[in-house]
Each structure stands twice: as structure tokens, then as C-alpha cells.
Amino acid sequence: MILPILNSEITFLQFLPFDLPEPLISIIFLLIGASIIAVVASVLALVGVYLERKISAHMQDRLGPMEVGPHGIAQTFADAIKLLIKEDIVPQDADKLLHFIAPVMVFAATLAAFAVLPFSKTLVVSDLNIGLLYIIAISSFVVIGAILAGWASNNKWSLLGGMRSAAQIVSFEIPASLAVLSVIMIVGSMNLGDIVEYQKGGFFNWIIFKYFPFNFIAFIIYFIASLAEVNRAPFDLPEAESELIAGFHTEYSGMKWAMFFLAEYANMFLVGVVASTLFLGGWSSPFGDFLNSGPFPVFWIFIKSFSLIFVQIWIRWTLPRVRVDQLMYVSWKVLTPFAFVAILGVGIWMVL
């Protein structure tokens, strides 16, 4: 673990009158780091909810939340407090243990994916050499929570939502993994830090512009597939409110529901960071060495991922929801062949 901010804490701990064993110190640092990231993920989710409501409102010529705080800034915090003191209703017939495990699983998997995201050269909790493979693996873990929630609720809508969620992940996992393959081919590493290092030195070095247009196609495919993986419109079939009430979380209320919601928005941010790391240069500055030190890498990654979140919100409030058969059509007959074309193109270009 490399967390430079906590280096000052190491010296702080050395002034303690007793010696702490080495594993304990690292666990303390991890605890601090994990708490910071959990809090950051939660705050980002709250910001995401606020942005979603505001942007959607302005797109529909409304104002959105305006009452709590200036321009409704504190609205989501008020909502969080409301959810905290809300009654937690578990249906009589539900499988109560699985009903409880489902939100735990969804949030834990989302948070675990945050562990490998590089926010700057050194600001990464776990600099895994197979970081990309790990992210693909752990982000499909979330769907098990969704199926579990759908099954445990003993509700027909939830069951259908969970099944749709499974169908969706089964279809969109393939194009998403194939789209990131060309990035690995170019960089020759699955370490997210190496991928960013490769793209340093201005926006013309970003992988999205390499071997044009193949990587551009790969980026578009990854973006569409990731929309489906985080259950965002137009692929929000598992929680389609006009067909399935709320899909797999129909029977959830209060804090458990809030955890699903938190995980969904944290996942949006996660997908934004991964897409910008792979294709848009990650934490490196778009202007070469200009503004590429100190706190600026974190600033750049946030700018890039929030632009992608904006596009996600934009798409949600622009496009209607697709049908299940259209979902399968898009995944297997459009995205997968095009992903193979992108890999083939990059491969031929690199070999020649």
C-alpha cells in the first residue's frame, strides 16, 4: 500500500511511547485509508444524486430541489437522514438472512473495486499487477447481490428484476471485457498505473486516439456496456419502475435501500474512473507536464470521470428504456462483433 498522505502518520506513530507491531500499523493505515475511501465514495454518491436531480430537472425545464439550502444543495443530506430513521420493513415471507446479505454484498463489492483505482501516481491503495482483470471480476460480483435481493424478497417483481439483471450481466460482460482488451494489447500490462503512465504527455497520447478509429470504437463499446453493467438507463431493466415497480429492490426500504442506492451511484463513479483511466489518460494532465503535479492529478481524474457521469445522466434523461430482446440484440449482434473488429484492427496495425 502506498499512501503518501499517511506517511506523516507513520512519524506520528513513532512518537508513541510503546512500539506497535508491524502488521498492526499497516492495518491501522488500511483502516484509515478504507474509511477515507468509504466516506469519499459515499460523498461522491450523494453528489451524484444531487447532480442527477439537478441536471434532469434542467433538461426538463424544471428547477429541481430548491428548498433545502441554497439551490437545494443539502437536499441529499436531508434525504440520507430521512432514510436513516425510516422503518426497515422486511416482508413476512421473505428469506430474511439473504434479504440482509444482498445490500451488504453489493456495497462491499463496490467498495472493494475502489481499492485498485489510481487517483494519482502514488495515491492508490492496492497497486495490483492484474488491476484491470480484478475490476472486471469484482464489478460483476455486484450482480450476485441483485439476484440475491430479487430471490430473497419473495416478490414476483423482484424475482423478474433479479433475473433480468443476470441476463444483462451475462450479455454485457463480453463486450466490456473485449473492449478493454485492445488497451492491454497496446500497453502490455494490466496494471492501471502502467496504463496511465503509457498515456502521459498530453491528450494526443490518450489511448482513445491511438490507432484511430479502432480504440474510439472500443471506448464507445466499453461505455455502452458499462451503462448496462451499472443498470443505468437505457439499460435499467432490472429496476424498470414502470414495469417492475422497482425491480430487485421493491421490498427494500430505509437504510438497506439506501445502501443499494449508494452502491449504484458509487458504481457510476467507478465506471467513470475506469473508463477515463483506460482511454482518457487517467490522472495525467491533458496538457503534457503542465499542471501535472501536486493535487492536480486528483483534480484531472475527477474532472474526467465527472464528465463521463454527466454523459451517463444525459443519456438517462434523453433515451427511452430498451426492451429485453433489444438489449440482447445490442449486446450480441452489434457490440460483440464490433469489439472483435476493434481488436482485429489494433492487432493488425500493431503487427504491421
Partner 1 sequence: MLSNFGSILFFLIFGAVFVCVNILLSRLLQTRNPYPVKLSVYECGELPEGNSWIQFNIRFYVIALIFLIFEVEIVFLFPWAVVFKDLGMFAFVEMLIFVGILLVGLAYVWAKGDLEWDKPEQVPSPELYRTDNVNSAVKITESVAS
Q: Which of residues 83-112 bind partner 1 (CB under 8 A)?
A: 83-94, 100, 103-105, 107-112
At residue 49, what are phi and psi to the nearest 5 degrees?
-65, -45
6 forms part of the interface with partner 1 (CB under 8 A): no
Residue (127 or 197) nearer to partner 1, CB: 127
Near partner 1 by CB under 8 A: residue from 26, 293, 307, 318? 26
Q: Which of residues 108-147 bind partner 1 (CB under 8 A)?
A: 108-112, 114-116, 125-129, 133-134
269 forms part of the interface with partner 1 (CB under 8 A): no
Distance of CA 138 to the CA centre of its chain: 11
**DSSP H or E run through 194:** helix 192-198
Residue (37 or 74) nearer to partner 1, CB: 37
The span from the CA of 286 to the CA of 200, in Å, is 8
- Tell me, what DSSP letter sits at residue 335? I
Q: Which of residues 274-333 bind partner 1 (CB under 8 A)?
A: 324-325, 328-329, 332-333
> Could you tell me if 121 and 2 are in contact, meaning their C-beta atoms sit under 8 angstroms apart?
no
151 forms part of the interface with partner 1 (CB under 8 A): yes
- What does the block give as the cell for 156? 414476483
Interface with partner 1 by CB under 8 A: which range of 12-20, 236-244, 283-291, 339-347? 339-347
The span from the CA of 255 to the CA of 21, in Å, is 37
The span from the CA of 263 to the CA of 100, in Å, is 15
Name the amino acid, one letter, at 209: F
**Number of H-type helices and E-type strands within the chain:** 14, 0
Residue (302 or 329) nearer to partner 1, CB: 329
- Minimum CB separation from partner 1 for residue 55, in Å? 27
Q: Which of residues 198-237 bind partner 1 (CB under 8 A)?
A: none
The span from the CA of 266 to the CA of 260, in Å, is 10
Q: Which of residues 157-196 bind partner 1 (CB under 8 A)?
A: 157-159, 163, 166-167, 170-171, 173-174, 177-178, 181-182, 184-185, 188-190
- Minimum CB separation from partner 1 for residue 92, in Å? 4
Near partner 1 by CB under 8 A: residue from 201, 202, 254, 288? 254
The span from the CA of 287 to the CA of 299, in Å, is 13
- Minimum CB separation from partner 1 for residue 211, in Å? 13
- Report the DSSP beta bridge partners of residue 124: 2
